[in-house]
Copies of this chain bind each other. A is one copy, B any other.
Amino acid sequence: MRFFTAPVENLIEQFQKLPGVGRKTAQRLAFFILSLPEAEAEGFANAVINAKKLVKFCSECQNLTDTELCSICADNARDKTTVCVVSDPKDVAAIEKTREYNGLYHVLHGCISPMNGIGPDDVRIKELLTRVAKGEIKEVIMATNPDTEGEATAMYISRLLKPFGISTTRLAYGIPVGGHLEFADEMTLTRAIEGRRLMD
């Protein structure tokens, strides 16, 4: 049953699709949009459209970018012999915030998770092997989340990398076990980078 005029109901329904947004919150957000000047509401709508239209994956590290190479891969001041493997673009942002890491990244876009039907081919492991095969990379830091899927993915990749004879390291357990990189504070992440250890 609809209690508001169609465009308002439609907006409420759209907000309700967002994760963690129920009917009351959606209503509050919709009325906030209605209270904005038209130009600002358009700015919001355009941000949604542009994010979908302009954002693609970096051809090297698979991070989100609106250019062919992302700004980190295109930066000549970064150490191109070290690659930090993360499962999510949000984790790149989390590590960049520490300002302690000067290497490159590789974004898997997920972790291997047989329970959820996600196999090695569903995350960007092949692209990582292609990069390593080029011979410039000397160390791969596995920075997947320290939970079951993240550990399994790190183990799986470290085995694939063995034939290349490079160092494969794992972030130290500064990060609370079972937690998520994204929510770690800068100091914890910094310590985890400093204390990284060889994988065997």
Q: Point out residues on A near B: beta carbons under 8 Å.
A: 1, 3-8, 10-11, 13-14, 17-20, 24-25, 27-34, 36, 38, 40-55, 63-67, 70-71, 89-90, 92-93, 96-97, 183
Interchain CB contact under 8 A, A48 and B55: no
Interchain CB contact under 8 A, A55 and B5: yes
Q: Contacting A47 at CB < 8 Å: which of B10, B55, B183?
A: B10
Measured between alpha carbons, how far is A59 from B40 in the docked complex, in Å? Answer: 26
Copies of this chain present: 2
Interchain CB contact under 8 A, B14 and A44: yes
Measured between alpha carbons, how far is A41 from B92 in the docked complex, in Å? Answer: 24
By Cβ-Cβ distance, the 6 closest A-B pairs, closest first, are A3-B93, A45-B45, A11-B51, A14-B47, A45-B48, A41-B52
Classify the interface of chain A: helix, strand, loop or mixed.
helix
Q: Which residues of B contact A65 (CB under 8 A)?
A: 5
Interchain CB contact under 8 A, B45 and A33: no
Measured between alpha carbons, how far is A53 from B27 in the docked complex, in Å? Answer: 18
Interchain CB contact under 8 A, A54 and B19: no
